[in-house]
Structure 1
Amino acid sequence: MYIVPESAIADILTRDDAFTAVEQVFAAMAAGDAYNFPVIREAIGHEEALYGFKGGFDGNGMSLGLKAGGYWPHNLEKRGLINHQSTVFLFDPDTGKVTAMVGGNLLTALRTAAASSVSIKHLARKDSKVMGMIGAGHQAKFQLRAALETHQFEKIIGWNYHPEMLPSIAEVAADFNLPFQALDSLDGMTEADVVISMTSSFSPVFTSAHISDGAHVACMGTDTIGKQECDADLIVRATVFTDEVAQSVTLGEAQHAVGAGLKNREDIFEVGAVINGTHAGRTSDSEVTLFDGTGVGLQDLAVSASIVEIAKAKGIGMEVDF
């Protein structure tokens, strides 16, 4: 078994590597060559933690495995550790023997950012100039850096419940030599051509009225039953794409509109179909497109497989007899 510890991931995985791995696995999913296993996510009754498993099999990339981990809300304050903790395990699909164990914390942040940037590349208007951010937490910086590499953006605007956190977004803007405007109200988000929302809200943060015609929205914070970032009116208005339809309608952003009968499951499409060319994707400059990024196990496996390959080539990590 090859072990790549969390401390080594930053020296191995680039945003380009994560993007390529996620784009390829989305395409494999849409082609029927890869599938995810049912998600397990439970409150363990200790430390208010949520723990679970995401896994799957990619017959194209020959990746089999799972990510184990979750959310420990008191880690940072009590122990100086990040609240999200995870590890990925890969197995040989021919024999079932474990082949790798990979640190999953930075990996998760990069693969989540890669998913939204894949959607932006394939669904946003080519002339998109203004990038909008809703949310300014830890993941937002990863999201923004990846998104800014997809188009020639000229300006960044941002809003957060706690405006004192917005300087972290301004730092990324400065790294890309782009101006940043902090919004006092979400009403200003109508200026954005692309919007990424990255919150953990259980009630709508923004509505259709905050999104302009022709915009692309990537909703990246909803991965649990009950969570909701945008009002159902935006799901109804937009052409909705997702990583996996089954997750989108049960624990993703579309769960509320579908549950209320406002949107049909059949009207939600896999972004991989756009990558493969079996769905046209955006059809006009006035169309609103939305990506419901629920986070699937195959993303973790694809990126982990890439990490292991690069780690072996660079002599990073260790092999143990298991």
Structure 2
Amino acid sequence: MTQVTMLSASQISHLLDMPAVIDAVADAYKEKVNHPATLWPMVYEQLGGEEDMDIRSGVLASKHVFGSKLLAWFGENAKRGLPELNGLVNLYSSDTGEPVAVLNATALTGFRTGAAGAVASRLLANPDATTLLVVGTGSQAPYQIMAQLCVLPKVTQVLLANPRDAKKAQAAVQRSRVIVTATPSTKPLIQADWVQPGTHLNAIGADMEGKQELDAKLFQGAQAYTDDVPQASEVGEIQNPIKAGVIKPEQVVEIGNSLLDPTLGRHDANAITIFDSTGIALQDLAAANLAFVRAKEQGVGTQVDL
């Protein structure tokens, strides 16, 4: 009989802390480059105008786990008094193939997505940046702010911009040197001429063909990074400048390579750097495994015999 640990959103929130998740995600990025970690093909499906789902899976060999996450986004759920994001992460032992944990994907996704942007900002943002802007005020915004503050100690001002208010968004962009976009937008929210030299941007929202948060012209002359070049070229923010002929996929650097080779980081203080975070299964597995290990240590979770 197989025993599986079930972890709720509340339990995950108590088990995880953002600095530890940031480090776990950074390690997963490096493992992707060194090949003890592997991604499997993603599944996307547009279920309607304001609904979509995706399935991400892979193996994190160093932790002896593999697994998958199914996450559904229903944009109209707020009007129903329901969460917009719902899903589960299934974690398996890569030694025996047995399921070991089932975790609430909503809390886990918040932590790992916030951590992904923080890994990039820690590496690429100007360390003297004092103003952070988050474009988008949905469920991801608190995690992004929390994660950015963990790695940007000189930030003294955090701005929030409603993407529907272009005039205020423009003013906020011009004042900020670290910018996070976390929306389901299908048209550019930030124009190239709004962004000042030395700015770092984390484009979080694009994870499906047709999504876009940044003006494709912004990539002209910028240093572009992502979590997985093939995936991002099809569904990430960089799909748009690639289609427009502004950049080529081979010009984009995977963040794991930059973590292992500092020469691939920011070239100078005035450069504009962009991290396209499409979200990969290794982030989910790293965060899920961290929560599972801590749950075992602390006796947290519901044990189910399958």
Shared fold per TM-score greater than 0.5 = yes
Q: Work out whether 1:242 is the aligned partner of 2:244.
A: no
Q: Secondary structure at the match of 1:233?
A: helix
Distance 1:48 1:119 in 2: 29
Distance 1:185 1:67 in 2: 33
Distance 1:21 1:255 in 2: 27
1:198-236 per-position Cα deviation (integer Å, ceiling 9, x unaligned): 111101111221111111111111111000000111122
Q: 1:69 aligns with which of 56, 67, 71?
A: 71
Distance 1:48 1:156 in 2: 29
1:265-303 per-position Cα deviation (integer Å, ceiling 9, x unaligned): 110111111212265301111111110010111111110
Aligned match of 1:285? 269
Length-normalised TM-score, structure 1: 0.88
CA positional deviation for 1:254: 0.2
Match of 2:240, as an amino acid? H
Aligned match of 2:28? 25
Any conservation in 2 of the 1:34–1:58 contact (CA below 8 Å)?
yes
CA positional deviation for 1:307: 0.3
Q: After superposition, where does 1:1-322 map in structure 2 within 5 Å?
A: 1-44=4-47, 49-78=51-80, 80-151=81-152, 152-162=154-164, 184-277=168-261, 279-322=263-306
Percent identity among equivalent residues? 29
Q: Secondary structure at the match of 1:148?
A: helix
Q: Secondary structure at the match of 1:37?
A: strand
Distance 2:65 2:136 in 1: 33
Distance 2:263 2:63 in 1: 22
CA positional deviation for 1:238: 1.2
Distance 1:306 1:67 in 2: 15
Q: Secondary structure at the match of 1:205?
A: strand
**Does 219-228 or 63-72 show the bigger shift?**
63-72
CA positional deviation for 1:185: 4.5
Distance 1:48 1:135 in 2: 16
Distance 1:49 1:192 in 2: 32
Moved beyond 4 Å, runs of 4+: none
Q: Secondary structure at the match of 1:38?
A: strand
1:252-272 per-position Cα deviation (integer Å, ceiling 9, x unaligned): 000011123221111011111
Any conservation in 2 of the 1:273–1:279 contact (CA below 8 Å)?
no
Q: Secondary structure at the match of 1:223?
A: coil
Any conservation in 1 of the 2:173–2:194 contact (CA below 8 Å)?
yes
Q: Secondary structure at the match of 1:114?
A: helix
**Does 139-148 or 287-296 show the bigger shift?**
139-148
Unaligned runs of 5+ in 2: none
Any conservation in 1 of the 2:7–2:302 contact (CA below 8 Å)?
yes
Any conservation in 2 of the 1:208–1:237 contact (CA below 8 Å)?
no
Quickly say closer, same or farther: Cα 1:101–1:142, change in 2 above 3 A: same
1:184-207 per-position Cα deviation (integer Å, ceiling 9, x unaligned): 250442221111111111011112
Distance 1:184 1:262 in 2: 27
Aligned match of 1:176? none
Distance 2:17 2:172 in 1: 33
Q: How many residues align?
A: 302
Distance 2:131 2:242 in 1: 30
Q: Secondary structure at the match of 2:278?
A: coil
Length-normalised TM-score, structure 2: 0.92
CA positional deviation for 1:108: 0.4
Match of 1:95, as an amino acid? T
